[in-house]
């Protein structure tokens, strides 16, 4: 979400001064996007809402640390939401300590032509079918651009374990896709419609 520099400065200054109108405006502006971030890491809706609320509390408590010259406000808040969600789900995750070689990662590649044919909702539905730990690594790597080192640091796992979960996610996602490029979810829906 692109805000003008002036609008961002006004919102940040108002939040620093504990102005309720500025806090409400910031909350409403980022509500949908940030709730979606929490849902992508936490399947349990109550945990996702808890992460969302805790994330906004952290945002308001540390807003004075935001530097408009170093980044975009939405990206800064998004990171807070991601880290808050990870903190909440870390105890729920059960990681397999298997590793995968970098050259083996290509074996699990999903061609872009297949992904282009899927609807966004179908992709999300298939991602949500992944095991919890595998989905978390996939989201951090593919959706949020974390490196395996950063994922390992955040989830307290090795880089090799992170690579394995990413490869496993790609493998399982490929299994969920039929050769026509439709997801298993789409196929089920079309079968039920008949």
In the chain, pLDDT over 70 holds for what percent of residues? 73
Provide the token pair at 168: 């496993």
**Mean pLDDT of the 93-102 span:** 53
Same domain, 158 and 134: yes
Same domain, 114 and 134: yes
Provide the CATH number for the domain around residue 45.
1.10.1740.10
Of the candidates 33, 61, 92, which is a domain's last residue? Answer: 92
Is the four-CA dihedral 184, 141, 28, 50 of positive or negative sign? Answer: positive
Same domain, 179 and 110: yes
Is residue 106 scored above 70 in pLDDT?
Answer: no
What is residue 130's predicted lDDT score, i.e. its pLDDT? 87
- Quote the number of domains for the chain: 2
Is residue 83 scored above 80 in pLDDT?
Answer: yes
pTM of the entire predicted model? 0.61
**Mean pLDDT of the 35-63 span:** 90
Phi first, then psi, for residue 104 (nearest 5°) are -75, -15
How far is residue 51's CA from residue 83's CA, in Å, rounded to a whole number? 9
Residue 22 structural domain: 5-92
DSSP-assigned beta bridge partners for residue 113:
none
Q: Is residue 97 part of a domain?
A: no
What is residue 65's predicted lDDT score, i.e. its pLDDT? 93
What is residue 44's predicted lDDT score, i.e. its pLDDT? 82
How far is residue 28's CA from residue 94's CA, in Å, rounded to a whole number? 35
Phi first, then psi, for residue 183 (nearest 5°) are -80, 165
Q: Is residue 23 part of a domain?
A: yes
Same domain, 126 and 70: no
Q: What is the CA radius of gyration of the chain?
A: 19
Q: Is residue 153 part of a domain?
A: yes
Which of 51-55, 79-83, 165-169, 181-185 has the weakest average pLDDT? Answer: 181-185
Same domain, 85 and 113: no
Is residue 131 scored above 80 in pLDDT?
Answer: yes
Q: Is residue 19 part of a domain?
A: yes
Q: How many CB atoms lie within 10 A of CB 71?
A: 11
């Amino acid at each position: 979400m692109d805000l003008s520099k002036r609008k961002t400065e006004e919102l940040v200054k108002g939040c620093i001064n504990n102005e309720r109108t500025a806090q409400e405006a910031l909350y409403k502006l980022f509500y949908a996007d940030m709730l979606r971030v929490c849902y992508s890491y936490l399947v349990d809706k109550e945990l996702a809402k808890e992460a969302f609320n805790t994330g906004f509390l952290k945002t308001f408590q540390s807003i004075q640390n935001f530097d408009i010259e170093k980044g975009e406000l939405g990206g800064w808040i998004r990171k807070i939401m991601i880290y808050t969600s990870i903190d909440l789900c870390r105890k729920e995750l059960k990681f397999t300590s298997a590793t995968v070689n970098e050259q083996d990662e290509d074996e699990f590649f999903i061609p872009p032509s297949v992904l282009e044919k899927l609807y966004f909702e179908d992709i999300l539905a298939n991602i949500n079918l992944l095991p919890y730990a595998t989905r978390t690594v996939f989201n951090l790597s593919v959706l949020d651009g974390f490196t395996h080192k950063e994922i390992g640091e955040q989830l307290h796992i090795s880089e090799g374990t992170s690579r394995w979960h990413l490869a496993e996610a790609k493998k399982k996602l490929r299994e969920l896709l039929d050769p026509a490029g439709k997801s298993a979810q789409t196929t089920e829906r079309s079968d039920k419609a008949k």
